[in-house]
Amino acid sequence: MSQIQQHAHTLPLKPLHLPSDPSAWPLAWGYWGILILACLVILCLVIVLLQRRTKHKAKKAALCILKQNANRFTVPETQELLRQAALSYFPRQDIAKLTGKQWLAFLDSQLTEPRFSPKGKQWQTALYAEQGNTDEVNSELIKDCEHWLCHALPPKRKFRNWNES
């Protein structure tokens, strides 16, 4: 045996102590970045959903009222509901003064295809004449109002000037 081997056996060495495994805490900066990014995405998603919910509140209320009272609503009551819903989304100074053909032109300006102006005489008869339209025509006019509530609110199109038409 060599002298080195002999000394290795006789040296008073203590057993080796391995260090503990690295812990997950504190997190590395990359994990902090991912965590912050995830929190920001969740926060933005919550904000967008709350804004959307607030934006659709008047539309949902109007549709709910219309569906609950579908059999009892008359055409003038439906028009009033339509006007109230429009006032929730459009500037009051522009909408409140609209009547007759201007009001129907405004309603058509928010849809892709006109549904109100072509039936102008029927609307005038339903709103102002003592002897109104038939029940079938009135039902069709109320369905047009429901269509407008579903498809025109909240405004998706640019605010067009319907007074010039």
- With a CB cutoff of 8 Å and minimum separation 6, the contacts of 89 are 58, 153, 154, 155
Q: How does residue 165 score in pLDDT terms, banded at 50, 70 and 90?
A: very low
What is the 8-class DSSP label of residue 28? Answer: P
Residue 51 has pLDDT above 60, yes or no: yes
Query: Residue 160: how many CB atoms within 10 A of its CB?
Result: 14
Q: What is the length of the chain?
A: 165
- Residue by residue, what is the 3-state secondary structure of 77-144? HHHHHHHHHHHHHCCHHHHCCCCHHHHHHHHHHCCCCCCCHHHHHHHHHHHHCCCCCCHHHHHHHHHH
Is pLDDT above 80 for 123?
A: yes
- How does the average pLDDT of the chain come out, rounded? 85
pLDDT per position as a tens digit, 19-46: 888 888 888 899 999 999 999 999 999 9
Q: What confidence tier does 137 reach under pLDDT thresholds 50, 70, 90?
A: confident
Give the start-to-end residue ranges of the domains of the chain: 57-164
Q: Which of 64-73, 79-88, 110-119 has the lowest mean pLDDT?
A: 64-73
CA gap 75, 73 in Å, rounded: 7
